[in-house]
Amino acid sequence: MSELVLQATRLVVLAPFVASVLGLFVARRRFASAVIASTGAVVTLLAGSYLLYAVHHDSLAGEVSTIGALPLGQLRMPLHLLVDELSAIVVFAVGIVGLAIQLFTKWYLHGDDRYGVFTGTVSLFLAGMLLVVLSGDLVLTLVGWEVMGWCSYLLIGHYSRKDSASRAATKAFLVTRFADLAFVIGLIILASGAGTTNIRDLMATWSGMPGSTLLTAALICLLSGIAGKSAQFPFHDWLPDAMEGPTPASALIHAATMVAAGTFVLARLFPIFVLSDPARLILAVITAVTMIGAAILAFGQSDLKRLLAYSTISQIAIMLSALAVAPVATGSGPAVLYLLSHAMFKALLFLAIGWLSVLVAGTSAIALAGGVRHHKQLRVPLGVGFLALAGVPPLAGFVAKEYVLGAAHDNISELGSATGWIVMVAVGMSVVLTAAYCTRAWLILTHLSAEEEVTHEAAIQQADAIEDVSIIEIFTEPASEGGIPPDSAPASGSTVTDVLAEDVHAEPEHGHADIHRSARLSVGVLAFLSVVGGLIIFTPLVAVEPHITWWLAASSFVLIVASWAGVRYLAPVDGIGDAASRLGADRMELFDRGLGADGVYVALASQVVRLADIVVVADRQVIDAYVRGTVVVTRWIGVTGERVHTRKPSSYLVWLLVGLLVVGVVGVTSW
């Protein structure tokens, strides 16, 4: 490997880390924080792009030393980074999303006095994720993993003055932490069994013993941690609550980092994961339950941001299910492809919803109803996002989902195991459900109240058919709709922004709230990538063969259309056009509470707390009692002694000599 690649690899991790540390020093100065954070993200993206180029063009792949091996006797711990095709493309995707979010945050948290702290934390979060992605060593993976866990706590709890935000942050932290217990145990088993923490060496060692019980145990332990980080059942409930954080934090956690980290670690360990059928079956069951359950819950949410959160859970489950079913020959390609496309369209959806929620001041379905009617510049980004999420061809979401289905199909045809059927059926159902909640959300966003309907009859025709949003519109609209005169926007630290700013036309008659050019750019780029992202299969960037199982694609498309038509039919014309209102208000509330998963957590946690209370009582009343007892006894002795004390030396001399005499008498008589 050339020196340049080595340095670029280290730079990818170091740049956001340095940016976060520097950002802390200037946290009180908005402009400096923004420049530092954006610079860090740009440097990361450039270095990541170079890595991607070097890996594919020069076929450079291998390990990069970091701080040198730790001398740990029999356990080898080289602490290497690992650059290969898998990590390079994910680094690139994380870089894009990270930069987009940094630019968007600058606008979103415009009036927030803790912007500097937030953006610094985002940088650190990115550093953690990139460390996980580039890690060639289980210890580095764990370090990045924990850094992300901690940063997610800080980001979700950003509005720490709100009780609900601090509760959500604590919940996210505790749930993932609890799940991480098993994750760490799994890592220890893997490392100690192979005598090394280097991932490639370790996989080579374990590959020699397929079907080993110990390997299965280690992988199941890992699955627990991954389920925690990726918000899979039964650890899923922290993610919807994490919506308490600012929208950029949600976008970051949901799109390319944190929840995707679980998928990535499993994809990295895929060569040994594929050896254990029990672990794969468990993963398939977990993901099947999660993807269907979360999709159903998403449909009933009264808050569109929480709808997106549940959709993330469901989508991550699809991603992981690809790993559960993919045969050895297929590899982790479908999962990574899904990870990439999901990163793009989910970041897009979150940023766009965040944008809209600022304009209408709220994220509930009622507040957002008819939002894109009044704020037309959001119509295309949101439309693209929901189409990609639903998996409508030819968007990125569609391509990725077809590959997951293809992997399940391969599994059934090659191995014929139950795992393949479980995933196939579950993904098939989730296609319907995903399309349903996407349609519902879109109908709410485009709904017109009764009087508006009269005046905008023509517009209704256009709004009815969501597929009307064609590729051409997508290319033209984000640049030409809404917005502000370029000169009223503050100068952005990014030179890339200025290039695109020339395309921005002002439409002041809409009277929309200001949005920063950089934020607009972020959304535009993400929308573009969501549309054309599927083309990645024709490049060598992802390890998949460019083929689509046509009957699967066709049938899923039919399912999507049927689901769309069904929801259209169900949606009432009155109110806010919410199809879920057919479920009844009581059930809506149940859905909002995530079917009471939080209550289960609280019930479980309260048992632990009760046990802790007992320990505390025992500690205070029993163990501390001895300690306090010595204090009491010592004080009593002291007080008594002080009373006996005459402070007269001559009387002490009497006692001294009496003592000597007694000792002498005793000594002589007993001799």
Which residues of the shown chain bind other proteins in the complex (CB under 8 A)? 646-651, 653-654, 657-658, 661, 664-665, 668
In the complex, what is the shortest distance from the CB of residue 114 to other proteins, in angstroms, rounded to a whole number? Answer: 53
Q: Which amino acid is at 275?
A: L
In the complex, what is the shortest distance from the CB of residue 649 to other proteins, in angstroms, rounded to a whole number? Answer: 4
Return the structure tokens found at 100. Answer: 């987009």
Which residue number, 74 or 650, has a Cβ lying nearer to other proteins?
Answer: 650
Counting every residue written for the chain, the total comes to 671
Which residue number, 643 or 648, has a Cβ lying nearer to other proteins?
Answer: 648
In the complex, what is the shortest distance from the CB of residue 643 to other proteins, in angstroms, rounded to a whole number? Answer: 14
- How far, CA to CA in Å, does 632 sit from each of 134, 624, 636, 639? 59, 12, 6, 10
In the complex, what is the shortest distance from the CB of residue 635 to other proteins, in angstroms, rounded to a whole number? Answer: 23
Return the structure tokens found at 345. Answer: 């369209």
User: 3-state secondary structure string, 85-141?
Assistant: HHHHHHHHHHHHHHHHHHHHHHHHCCCCCCHHHHHHHHHHHHHHHHHHHHECEHHHH
The closest alpha carbon to 406, from 556, 552, 560, belongs to 552
Which residue number, 629 or 659, has a Cβ lying nearer to other proteins?
Answer: 659
In the complex, what is the shortest distance from the CB of residue 169 to other proteins, in angstroms, rounded to a whole number? Answer: 55
* 543 SS3 class: coil
Q: Which residues contact residue 25 at a Cβ distance below 8 angstroms, ignoring those fewer than 6 apart?
A: none
In the complex, what is the shortest distance from the CB of residue 158 to other proteins, in angstroms, rounded to a whole number? Answer: 56
Find out whether 50 and 8 touch, Cβ atoms under 8 Å: yes
In the complex, what is the shortest distance from the CB of residue 651 to other proteins, in angstroms, rounded to a whole number? Answer: 7
In the DSSP assignment, the letter for residue 231 is: T
Is the CA virtual torsion 478, 484, 486, 489 positive or negative? negative
| CA gap 432, 444 in Å, rounded | 18
Which residue number, 621 or 669, has a Cβ lying nearer to other proteins?
Answer: 669
Q: Which amino acid is at 163?
A: D
In the complex, what is the shortest distance from the CB of residue 654 to other proteins, in angstroms, rounded to a whole number? Answer: 5
Which residue number, 161 or 648, has a Cβ lying nearer to other proteins?
Answer: 648
Which residue number, 550 or 671, has a Cβ lying nearer to other proteins?
Answer: 671
In the complex, what is the shortest distance from the CB of residue 637 to other proteins, in angstroms, rounded to a whole number? Answer: 21
Which residue number, 25 or 652, has a Cβ lying nearer to other proteins?
Answer: 652
In the complex, what is the shortest distance from the CB of residue 646 to other proteins, in angstroms, rounded to a whole number? Answer: 7
Is the CA virtual torsion 181, 228, 425, 553 positive or negative? negative
Return the structure tokens found at 412. Answer: 């059934």
Question: Cα 334 to chain center, whole Å?
Answer: 19
Which residue number, 499 or 654, has a Cβ lying nearer to other proteins?
Answer: 654
Return the structure tokens found at 38. Answer: 């954006």
Q: Give backbone dihedrals phi and psi of 62, rounded to 5 degrees, phi first.
A: 160, -165
Burial 405-439, CB ≥16 within 10 A → b, else e: bbbbbbbbeeeebebbbbbbebbbbbbbbbbbbbb
Q: Give backbone dihedrals phi and psi of 361, rounded to 5 degrees, phi first.
A: 60, 65
In the complex, what is the shortest distance from the CB of residue 639 to other proteins, in angstroms, rounded to a whole number? Answer: 18
| CA gap 120, 125 in Å, rounded | 9
In the complex, what is the shortest distance from the CB of residue 644 to other proteins, in angstroms, rounded to a whole number? Answer: 13
Which residue number, 499 or 656, has a Cβ lying nearer to other proteins?
Answer: 656
Which residue number, 546 or 664, has a Cβ lying nearer to other proteins?
Answer: 664
Q: How many CA atoms lie within 13 A of 562 on its CB side?
A: 11
In the complex, what is the shortest distance from the CB of residue 159 to other proteins, in angstroms, rounded to a whole number? Answer: 57
Which residue number, 111 or 641, has a Cβ lying nearer to other proteins?
Answer: 641
The closest alpha carbon to 468, from 480, 457, 460, 478, belongs to 460
Q: Which residues contact residue 61 at a Cβ distance below 8 angstroms, ignoring those fewer than 6 apart?
A: 1, 55, 83, 84, 85
| CA gap 412, 421 in Å, rounded | 7
Which residue number, 57 or 647, has a Cβ lying nearer to other proteins?
Answer: 647
Which residue number, 181 or 665, has a Cβ lying nearer to other proteins?
Answer: 665
In the complex, what is the shortest distance from the CB of residue 666 to other proteins, in angstroms, rounded to a whole number? Answer: 11
Which residue number, 70 or 658, has a Cβ lying nearer to other proteins?
Answer: 658
Which residue number, 562 or 654, has a Cβ lying nearer to other proteins?
Answer: 654
In the complex, what is the shortest distance from the CB of residue 636 to other proteins, in angstroms, rounded to a whole number? Answer: 23
Q: Which residues contact residue 57 at a Cβ distance below 8 angstroms, ignoring those fewer than 6 apart?
A: none
- How far, CA to CA in Å, does 628 sit from each of 190, 612, 617, 625? 47, 22, 15, 5
Kindly write down the DSSP assignment for every residue of 469-526, as one continuous string: --HHHHHHHHHHSS---GGGSPPPS-HHHHHHHTTPPP-GGG-PPP--HHHHHHHHHH
